[in-house]
Amino acid sequence: AQSVTQLDSHVSVSEGTPVLLRCNYSSSYSPSLFWYVQHPNKGLQLLLKYTSAATLVKGINGFEAEFKKSETSFHLTKPSAHMSDAAEYFCVVSDKGYSTLTFGKGTMLLVSP
Amino acid sequence: KAGVTQTPRYLIKTRGQQVTLSCSPISGHRSVSWYQQTPGQGLQFLFEYFSETQRNKGNFPGRFSGRQFSNSRSEMNVSTLELGDSALYLCASSFRPEENYGYTFGSGTRLTVV
């Protein structure tokens, strides 16, 4: 069975400061990992994905994530937050060979001016 | 390239009624999945269809059902609606998800049961 734990339900940053959203996963197999973002009243947009290639993954809008197998972590970072980054972020795991996504509970990112 | 289209965007239904939601995937995508999003339970997997066959099913009662047509469009149906079925229902499509192409989500259908 696979699972995802997002360690913070809310993260508050100031515009221009770094962003760190934490995610730990559990998987029986070599997992694929994703980060999705959801703006209010919108669907989910894929930020980036890890699929056993490079462990440092670059995504859209300046986000990146590092896969650390020894720590079973896949934390999302951005060097400098924008007001437009305020949204809910979901860490997602998918075991290889399967087509179901397991979502974390989400982290709400709040960005203040 | 058109994205994943879900209709309708909003629905209000009465307890005991049934509802059908529609999803048109990205052209060429043969896998369609459905997810329920609620504040309490978060995002939960309902089912996944590939080439008109249900391949995976989540832990939902039999009142929740779905199907996929030969053009890959999918519908989900919820019968005997309960207040707890109020949620955002998201559809996602993929070319071949088991090869990690990833999923593209629609904007969702917000169902309110009164």
The answer on pLDDT for B100 being more than 70 is no
Task: Say which range, A4-18, A39-53, A89-103, B1-15, has the weakest mean pLDDT.
Answer: A89-103
Average pLDDT, chain B: 93
Helices (H) and strands (E) counted in chain A, each on its own, are: 0, 12
The gap between the terminal CA atoms of chain A, to the nearest Å, is: 41
pLDDT range class, residue B96, cuts 50, 70, 90: confident
- Closest residue of chain A to B107, computed from CA coordinates: A43
A83: helix, strand or coil:
helix
Locate A36 and state its tokens.
């999705």
Closest residue by Cα to residue B64 from B75, B50, B53: B75
Q: In this structure, is the dihedral angle defined by the CA atoms of residues B51, B4, B46 and B7, taken in order, positive or negative?
A: negative
| Cα–Cα separations (whole angstroms), residue B54 to A85, B46, B51, B59, B70 | 36, 11, 8, 14, 13
pLDDT tens per residue across span B16-57 = 999 999 999 999 999 999 999 999 899 999 999 999 999 889
| Cα–Cα separations (whole angstroms), residue A104 to A5, A108, B86 | 6, 12, 20
A21 phi/psi in degrees, rounded to 5 = -115, 125
The answer on pLDDT for A79 being more than 80 is yes
Length of chain A: 113
Residues A54, A31: Cα–Cα separation, whole Å: 14
- Predicted local distance difference test score (pLDDT) of residue A96: 58
Q: In this structure, is the dihedral angle defined by the CA atoms of residues B89, B93, B97 and B100, taken in order, positive or negative?
A: negative
Residues of B in contact with A100 (CB under 8 A): 33, 45, 48, 56, 58
Name B69's Cβ contacts closer than 8 Å, sequence gap at least 6. B52, B75
Average pLDDT, chain A: 91
Compare A18 and B97 and report the one with higher pLDDT: A18
CB–CB contact A97 B108 (8 Å): no
pLDDT tens per residue across span B10-27 = 999 999 999 999 999 999
Beta bridge partners of A91: A35
Q: Considering only CB atoms, which residues of chain A are within 8 Å of chain B?
A: 32, 34, 36, 42-46, 49, 51, 90, 94, 96-106
- Predicted local distance difference test score (pLDDT) of residue B8: 97
- Predicted local distance difference test score (pLDDT) of residue B46: 95
CB–CB contact A100 B58 (8 Å): yes
Percent of chain B clearing pLDDT 70 (strictly above): 96
The gap between the terminal CA atoms of chain B, to the nearest Å, is: 37
Are the beta carbons of B9 and B111 closer than 8 angstroms? no
Compare A108 and A54 and report the one with higher pLDDT: A108
Closest residue by Cα to residue A63 from A74, A42, A79, A50: A79
- Predicted local distance difference test score (pLDDT) of residue A111: 97
